[in-house]
Amino acid sequence: MSRPSVSRRQFLGASGAALVTGLAGCSAGEGGTSTDTASSAETLKIGVLEDQSGNFALVGDPKAKASMLAIEEINANGGIDGKQIETFQRDPQSDNQRYQELTRTAINEENVDALWAGYSSATREAIRPIIDRNEQLYFYTTQYEGGVCDEFTFAVGPTARQQLGIVLPYLVEEFGPDIYTIAADYNFGQLSADWVKVLANENDANVLGEEFIPLSESSFGSTINRIQEADPDFVMSMLVGANHTSFYEQKASAGLDIPIGTSTAMAQGYEHRRLDAPAMANIYAGVNYMEEVPTESNTGDGGFVDRYFEMYPDAPYLNEEAETNYFSTYMYKKAVEQAGTTEQPEVIDALESGIELGTEEAPEAPEGETIRLDGATHHVDHHMWIMRADEEHNVEAVENRQIPETFLSETAGCNLPENPEQTQYTPVDYYEEAE
Amino acid sequence: MVNGINLALQFLDSFAFIVLAAAGLAIIFGIMGVINLAHGEFILIGAYTATLAVTQLGLPLVVAMVAGGLVTGLFGILTERVIISGAWPNWVSQRTLGRDIIEPLYDRLADSMVATFGLSLILTQGTRIAYGNSIDGLSTPFGPIEYGAFSYSTYRIVLAGVSIGLLVATYYLFTRTDFGMRARATIQDKETAQAMGVNTERMYMLTFGIGSALAGLTGALFAPVVTMRPTLGDQFLVESFVAVVVGGPSVVLGTALSGGVLGAILAVFSNLYGTFIGRIALLVAALVALRFLPDGITGFIEQLRKRRQESE
């Protein structure tokens, strides 16, 4: 487990005045704005709005970095169809209002050809009306609760049905049928908890109880007691954000020794690196990507991990969403080359024709195998992994397979090329047990 | 079904959290009339100092925690000299301009809020620039205690003990020592205290330092149980302000009483109905308290005592 050098930080940390000294770097903190390319008609512009400060900085910063890595690689290899990529990159600071302002700027003033923006579902829903009104090609790259069927949005992260769909059946088989759900109290957590109920029903398991926890909460004593009282076989945790990370530390110190399945921990905020062992022991993450995913194009020599840390030697971790930003930039490249233009309606048509990436013929999808963009739903048939952390926080893959996104295609009947719409479907509309 | 031991431990946990979060704030507000909105960031300094002292310098945890308190105390004194009293900028300006450029912020509630809010933003972002979005955390010492189907973190119980110890020490400092007498004299009547030979400037500086050191110690104590990030002070701010407002003017007694009352409410409701309802109950309790006891619990006690004296 290699850690980045901290010599600069050690130096700064040498005195209490370090905090003040750090301010000198304040003006340099604003993200770089454009890559160094000749400004001509032979360029195209990509907007990247990812959180580099604020509540989601820890998980958003790698997204911005991975986008820049993909763009630099593509530019170094001759660009897209001979066009160099310019970027419009800003830090929305985890602030949804700032997201809305910057999205308008990106579309109306910068005329971006494609936009990558936003970590949380709340952010996505805050800017989606602006995206739709302006008919802007938009990539949302976070793993999320699922259900967005929108003609201009490509939700290329895995959904709850994919993430929970791989980890929950495995845990039922390994440990038993009784589940206790804890989730963050906003749309992502609520809908994910509904998915736990749906999947529990499909796998003959039952949910003993559930608790929704405000994002600002960081004390979990009573939650831990309530879990112990319910005595489940395993816990499903969809806790989100820095405050909720305290749960894992606290359950370890309280001696709550129970397997935990999750769609949020480890892969995004690398808790297994940040927290002292054994806080994350016996945590099973259902994810499409982690830095530790053992594919050749990921951890092999000169693979994704090597290239990322060569460009960002001080970066702490390469997280799940960073990979999604990375491969979706390549998907966009493929689509533009197939369409032969950057005109957005034509590029969307090309994307809807079913773009594929994979380790065999194309190394741009480090999560493994061939992954395919489903044109009907704008979602990706991901290669999913169950990653388990042990007592020493070593992470190993215990299971992996490809899982298509079936909720939109099979259950909700989302077919965007035939029926353009801008809806978010929720499991409550289709499953009794989710109510 | 509610388990009595769970409830008791949960109460101790909430009590310790509220008392520790509020102690430093209560001293600075109660004695100086300064609302320190950078309180959360003082806690942050303590937490980061303690954590880095362990992970980078390899100090034992207890030593690192004391260091966290000391560093924050020194930073508090620096803040007081430069921003709150403006003594150092004025010392310079007296020599260059021949006049003071800064008015002290004592008893200027709104002004002190704006100044310390600015300081809190600078500290949060400064931490982010210097150390990134997160640093490696410490593990919680001592492990769990077990009872029946349940278990609980021993360290949380130790925290409750420490919070009571701190209250006792603070009470002793402000009521039984020479320093405490001068500090209280400064609060009650600054001019008279000055006339009696109390160096009130120095009292303010030291009081702010002590309040800051308590905040830093709180951060250091909670460092093993919270996530290390530049905004970690946020999670203490609500509880600390609610506790100070509900507690009222008497620093030590008020903090202890509001820690007891609010801790009990938080423990009962979050154990019975979940964390979210617990949080709502806490804020509703603060609302009710403010509506009916505008001077807080100790203000109400003071009123009762006055009324009884008058009727005698």
pTM, full prediction: 0.78
Name the one residue in this structure whose structure tokens are 């609010």: B262
B271–A226 C-beta distance less than 8 A: yes
Name the one residue in this structure whose structure tokens are 């370890």: A252
* Average pLDDT of the segment spanning A358-363: 56
DSSP state of B106: T
CB atoms inside a 10 Å sphere around CB A169: 20
Residue A12 has pLDDT above 50, yes or no: no
A29–B139 C-beta distance less than 8 A: no
Residue A26 has pLDDT above 70, yes or no: no
Token duo for residue B230 = 């530049």
Secondary structure of residue B250 in the 3-state scheme: coil
Phi (first) and psi of residue A30, to 5 degrees: -60, 135
Q: Does B126 contact chain A (CB < 8 Å)?
A: yes
More confident call, A210 vs A300: A210
* Average pLDDT of the segment spanning A381-387: 94
Percent of chain A with pLDDT over 90: 69
* Average pLDDT of the segment spanning B160-169: 90
A107 close to A127: Cβ distance less than 8 angstroms: no
Query: 3-state DSSP: chain B helix, strand, coil percent, rounded to 5?
Result: 75, 5, 20
Residue A13 has pLDDT above 70, yes or no: no
Q: Which residue of B129, B232, B274 is in closest CB contact with A29? A: B129
For chain A, which domains are there?
42-157+290-382+403-423 (3.40.50.2300), 159-285 (3.40.50.2300)
The confidence band for A174, taking pLDDT boundaries of 50, 70 and 90, is very high
Secondary structure of residue A290 in the 3-state scheme: coil
Distance CA B101, CA B94 (A): 8
Cα A216-A222-A223 angle, rounded to 5 deg: 70
Helix (H) or strand (E) holding A84: strand A84-90
Residue A412 has pLDDT above 50, yes or no: yes
Tell me which chain B residues have a C-beta less than 8 angstroms from the C-beta of A212. Answer: 274, 276
* Average pLDDT of the segment spanning A54-72: 92
Give the closest-approach CA distance of B289 to chain A in angstroms: 23
* Average pLDDT of the segment spanning A201-211: 94
Give A254-308 pLDDT, tens digit per residue.
888 899 999 999 999 899 998 888 889 999 999 999 999 998 889 888 889 999 9
CATH 2.60.40, domain B2-309, yes or no: no
A159 close to A247: Cβ distance less than 8 angstroms: no
Name the one residue in this structure whose structure tokens are 């921990």: A265
More confident call, A35 vs B188: B188
A225–B227 C-beta distance less than 8 A: no
Give the closest-approach CA distance of B108 to chain A in angstroms: 25
Tell me which chain A residues have a C-beta less than 8 angstroms from the C-beta of B49. Answer: 16
A284 close to A255: Cβ distance less than 8 angstroms: no
Nearest residue on chain A to B51, judged by CA atoms?
Answer: A13
The pLDDT value recorded for residue A23 is 40
Lowest mean pLDDT among A31-45, B201-215, B234-248, B269-283: A31-45
DSSP state of B140: P
Tell me which chain B residues have a C-beta less than 8 angstroms from the C-beta of A25. Answer: 129
Q: How many angstroms separate the Cα of A364 from the Cα of each of A307, A313, A323, B163?
A: 12, 21, 9, 54
Mutation pick from B153, B232, B262 vs chain A, by most beta carbons of A within 10 Å, is B153
Tell me which chain B residues have a C-beta less than 8 angstroms from the C-beta of A245. Answer: 227
Cα A34-A35-A39 angle, rounded to 5 deg: 85
B126–A20 C-beta distance less than 8 A: yes
The rounded mean pLDDT for chain A is 87
Q: Does B225 contact chain A (CB < 8 Å)?
A: yes
Please give the ipTM for the structure prediction: 0.72
Mutation pick from A225, A243, A248, A257 vs chain B, by most beta carbons of B within 10 Å, is A225
Give B80-130 pLDDT, tens digit per residue.
999 988 889 889 999 999 888 888 888 788 888 999 999 999 999 999 889
The confidence band for A9, taking pLDDT boundaries of 50, 70 and 90, is very low
* Average pLDDT of the segment spanning B248-270: 87
Distance CA B278, CA B272 (A): 9
Q: Does B236 contact chain A (CB < 8 Å)?
A: no
The pLDDT value recorded for residue A39 is 42
The confidence band for A21, taking pLDDT boundaries of 50, 70 and 90, is very low
Tell me which chain B residues have a C-beta less than 8 angstroms from the C-beta of A249. Answer: 137, 139-140, 224-227
The pLDDT value recorded for residue A8 is 43
Q: How many angstroms separate the Cα of A340 from the Cα of each of A46, A137, A152, A337, A347?
A: 17, 16, 19, 5, 8
Token duo for residue A240 = 């989100």
Nearest residue on chain A to B269, judged by CA atoms?
Answer: A222
Q: Where are the beta strands (DSSP E) in A109-175?
A: 114-117, 138-140, 148-150, 153-155
Phi (first) and psi of residue A144, to 5 degrees: -150, 180
Give B25-53 pLDDT, tens digit per residue.
988 888 778 888 999 999 999 999 999 99
* Average pLDDT of the segment spanning A367-384: 91
Mutation pick from B122, B128, B142, B151 vs chain A, by most beta carbons of A within 10 Å, is B151
